[in-house]
Each structure stands twice: as C-alpha cells, then as structure tokens.
Amino acid sequence: MSELKQTFNSSLGKKLIMALTGLFLCVFLIVHLGGNLLLFKHDNGYSFNMYANFLTHFPPIEVIAYILYLCIIVHAIYAYILTTNNRHARPVDYAVHTKSPVSFSSKNMGLLGSILLVFIVIHMGDFWYKYKFTHSVGYKEYRTNLLTNQTTVTDFTPQTADFEHSQSFDGDTEIIRVKDLHSRIVASFSIWWYVLIYVISMVALSFHLVHGFQSAFHTFGWVHRKYKPIYEFIGTWLFAVIIPLGFAAMPIVYFIQSLNK
C-alpha cells in the first residue's frame, strides 16, 4: 500500500477527507448563495437566467462544478464508511443511553447529512438536471434598448432542440435568448410542500454546519485559542445562520409572492 493510500485509509485520513470536502462545499455555499440572491432582483429573471447560463457555459466553472459534485459524492461515501465503521466499533449497545452533555448536531451529523443528501438529489434533479439534460425548461427572450436601458421579455421557442442561448443586436437593441430556469423556480416554489422540503433541509443544513464547519478545523488540528473563536464565530453566524436563512428565504419569498398572484 502506498504511503498516501495508507494515510487516507487511516481513521484520521478519512476524517481529513471529510473535512476537506466539507469545507470546499462550505465555500461553494457562499458562492451559490451570492449568485442566487439574483432571484431577489425584480427583472423578470433576467440576471438570474444570465447567471445560470454563465455557470453552465464558462469552462473553468464547469470544471469546478464537477469537482464539487465529486466532493459531494466523496463526502457522502466517506460519511457512510466512517459511520459503518463506527457502528462496528460498538457491536453491543448500552441499555441506558449516554446522557453526556453534548450538542444535538454533533451527535446527529449522519442523520442531518442524509437529509441534505436527499435534498441535494431533489434539488439538482429538479433544476440542474432538467436545465442541463432535458428540454422541459423553456426559453426567454430579453430585448434591451441600450439607449434607454429598458428591457422587455417574451417567451421564446427555439427552432432546434439543442439550442442553448444566443446574443445578437438589432440596432440599439440587444437580444438575448436564454433558457428560463427562473420560471421553473417560480413554478416549483409555489408548491407548499416543495417549499417545506426546502425549509426543513435548510434547518438541517444549519445544524449540520454549526458542528461541521468548526469540526473541520478541529480535524486539521487548528485549535489555537487565539483564532479558534474566529472560526467558531464564522461557523455559527455565517454558516449556521446567514447562509441557511438566505437560502430558506428564497422559496419562502417566492411562495408568498405566488399567493399574491
């Protein structure tokens, strides 16, 4: 067995993989939330659709995206391996369960992670997969008068099935034709149970990250008393409060808007 292989097969090596992939996913969440805030722009989905198009067509991002998917899979697989090993480490359970004063999150990372995995499957299946690999997502045409900066929007039907997007000019008017993920979101987020799934998942995300983020640093061995409070602060406020709240706000706001229509 090569030395590196040996390293990552050890209990600590597996933890390192969990921590590295976990932190990468955390960083992604910041970007993802930042981009998705475009959903709150009242421009008939123009910015958001452009953003979605950019993400799926800019090669470096695509590479990163595949690394991201890999991270999710590796994080889940190693979580499964570690959890199974940990179960085997105690074949006979206690009759009275431990009453140690430890946090709910840290004891239930597996459960929370499983919820998130199911969520990711639903989420990606509904948006990413349909967006990339099916024709169930419609198109929009945005015409912007470059002089007045006025934009009008209409539905658009491409002539070929594999049409992705286009940008052209008609005098002072810029015509952009692009896949319309935004409408898909509006439609999904008007379903109450769908919104509920999102909200529950974001609660799970909050609990997962309140332990997970700072735990990763612990795994790296970065626990100096002088900077530990900094990442604990970030872990709690950014990853367990702001990010889940930000994500949860989207379906909720869209759902409320759908009620007013």
Partner 1 sequence: MSNANGTMNLTLKVWRQPNAQTAGKFETYKAENISPDMSFLEMLDVVNESIIHTKQDPIHFDHDCREGICGMCSLYINGRPHGPKRAITTCQLHMRSFTDGETITIEPWRAKAFPVIKDLAVDRSAFDRIQQAGGYISVNTGGVPDANEIPIPKVIADEAFNSATCIQCGACVAACKNASAMLFTSAKITQLALLPQGQPERYRRVQSMVAQMDAEGFGSCTNTGACEAECPKEITLTNIAHMNFDFFSAKLFREEEVHAENHGG
Which residues of the chain form contacts with partner 1 (CB under 8 A)? 3-4, 6-7, 10-16, 82, 85-86, 88-103, 106-107, 109, 211, 215, 218-223
CA distances in angstroms from 191 to 33, 201, 223, listed in the order given: 22, 16, 44
Pick the closer one to partner 1 by CB: 5 or 41.
Answer: 5
Pick the closer one to partner 1 by CB: 12 or 200.
Answer: 12
What b/e readout covers 104-137, taking b as 16+ CB neighbours within 10 angstroms? ebeebbeebbbbbbebbeebeeebbebbeeeeeb
Pick the closer one to partner 1 by CB: 100 or 134.
Answer: 100
Pick the closer one to partner 1 by CB: 54 or 227.
Answer: 227
In angstroms, give the least distance from the CB of 21 to partner 1.
Answer: 15
Pick the closer one to partner 1 by CB: 61 or 111.
Answer: 111
Please give the Cα distance from 175 to 124 (Å, whole number).
29
Q: Does residue 253 contact residue 49 with C-beta atoms inside 8 Å?
A: no
Pick the closer one to partner 1 by CB: 94 or 133.
Answer: 94
In angstroms, give the least distance from the CB of 86 to partner 1.
Answer: 4
In angstroms, give the least distance from the CB of 230 to partner 1.
Answer: 15
In angstroms, give the least distance from the CB of 227 to partner 1.
Answer: 12
In angstroms, give the least distance from the CB of 219 to partner 1.
Answer: 6
Pick the closer one to partner 1 by CB: 13 or 158.
Answer: 13
In angstroms, give the least distance from the CB of 247 to partner 1.
Answer: 25
In angstroms, give the least distance from the CB of 107 to partner 1.
Answer: 6
- Estimate the crossing angle of helix 243-260 against helix 181-188, to 10 degrees: 80
CA 173 vs. chain centroid, Å, equals 35
Pick the closest to residue 187 from 142, 129, 243, 127 (CA basis). 127
